[in-house]
Amino acid sequence: MTSPSPNNPNNGFVLPKERSGFLWRLISSVALWAVMIAVIFFLPPTALYLFMNIVVAIAVWEFYVICEAKSLRSYKVWGVIGSVAMISGSWFVFGLEDYRHTADFPSMAYDFDIVILVVFALGVFIRQFPQKLNPQGIETMAITLFGLIYVAWLCNFITRINFSSPDGKYFVMYLVIVTKFTDIGAYLVGSTLGRHKMIPRISPKKTWEGTIGGILFAVGFSIGSLHMPYIGDALVTAGMTMTHAIILGLILSAAAIVGDLAESLIKREAGVKDSGTWLPGHGGALDLIDSLLFTAPLLYVYLRLVLH
């Protein structure tokens, strides 16, 4: 508690800004963990489908709003429709039980993504035709397409991980654990021991000490996940060893840091602090999943090429 002052007699009961921010971050993190565990393990499979659609739709919209702060227009509604179509279609294709484990299945899943991207790209051009004047036509189309690729397509690898094996949901949980503990480790170590700025032009608060702490946290929890109830059994059954856990901890933590910096770069260019305000301590949906956008594809590739 801060000491009361004559100018503000009530400030003795107000938490400092840093501690207040951390408290909200802790509360919202616990709530999010509860939701994730319920969605992945206890609710019907459609719960994860709905959860992903809602989060991705909000995140795509937030991305377009951020770009608007930079005076870059986009077709926001069309971008959200394309994102939901990609998530929904992939969920349907991956859910074909009779076809999922055949040799041609990965090719079919990728073909569907290509169809969505082609239709979406054509729609962006067709949307441009009836306009009498749009001095930012190229920018509008580019931003709309980039939003779909950057947010929806990358996040859709979580769907691929979920259906990559009978125990795919445990790898989704593993992905979230390692990615988010990178953020937690970087925040805790950086806020207490951080002295050397990493890239102040992009993210003034990120330090090298925090980065190292995030990597160590990720590797530690990657190893620890091998001994977690249910999750550990599924990982070991899929071929995960201590060596794989260390390698994935390093790869995913590095990708999580890059993903966080990538979104920070976008927000910094647009002069925006957070992508949204609906999640206290975190910001918006894009702030929540920015690291997962880079870690999910890498985990899927590792599962396909190394652990397959």
Please provide the DSSP assignment of 239-276 as one string.
T--HHHHHHHHHHHHHHHHHHHHHHHHHHHHHT-S-S-
Q: Which of 28-37, 83-92, 121-130, 140-149 has the highest mean pLDDT?
A: 140-149
Query: Token digits for 286?
Result: 């894009």
Mean of pLDDT values over 267-278: 81
Mean of pLDDT values over 51-58: 92
Furthest C-alpha separation in the chain: 74
pLDDT recorded at residue 106: 59
Dihedrals phi, psi of 84, to nearest 5 degrees: -65, -40
When pLDDT is cut at 50, 70 and 90, the band that residue 240 belongs to is very high
pLDDT recorded at residue 199: 86
Least confident segment among 100-109, 130-139, 274-283: 100-109
Cβ 87 vs Cβ 290: under 8 Å: no
Mean of pLDDT values over 238-251: 94
pLDDT recorded at residue 100: 54
Neighbour-count burial for 266-298, b at 16+ CB within 10 Å, e otherwise: bbbebebeebbeebeebbbbbbbbbbbbbbbbb
Quick: pLDDT tens for 56-100. Answer: 999 999 999 999 999 888 999 999 999 999 998 888 877 765 555
CA 200 to chain CA centroid, Å, is 22
When pLDDT is cut at 50, 70 and 90, the band that residue 16 belongs to is very low
Quick: pLDDT tens for 186-231. Answer: 888 988 887 888 888 888 888 899 999 999 999 999 999 999 888 8
User: Could you tell me which residues come within 8 angstroms of residue 124 by beta carbon, excluding any fewer than 6 positions away?
Assistant: 75, 78, 141, 144, 145
Identify which of 106, 114, 94 has the alpha carbon closest to the alpha carbon of residue 52: 94
Q: Is the pLDDT of residue 295 over 60?
A: yes
pLDDT recorded at residue 61: 95
Q: Cα angle vertex 43, ends 38, 45, to 5°?
A: 120
pLDDT recorded at residue 97: 55
Check residues 109 and 170 and name the one with the higher pLDDT. 170
pLDDT recorded at residue 14: 44
When pLDDT is cut at 50, 70 and 90, the band that residue 167 belongs to is confident
d(CA 23, CA 195): 23
User: Could you tell me which residues come within 8 angstroms of residue 175 by beta carbon, excluding any fewer than 6 positions away?
Assistant: 158, 161, 252, 292, 295, 296, 299
Q: Is the pLDDT of residue 15 over 50?
A: no
d(CA 100, CA 300): 16
When pLDDT is cut at 50, 70 and 90, the band that residue 293 belongs to is very high
d(CA 4, CA 1): 9
When pLDDT is cut at 50, 70 and 90, the band that residue 25 belongs to is low
When pLDDT is cut at 50, 70 and 90, the band that residue 246 belongs to is very high
pLDDT recorded at residue 147: 94
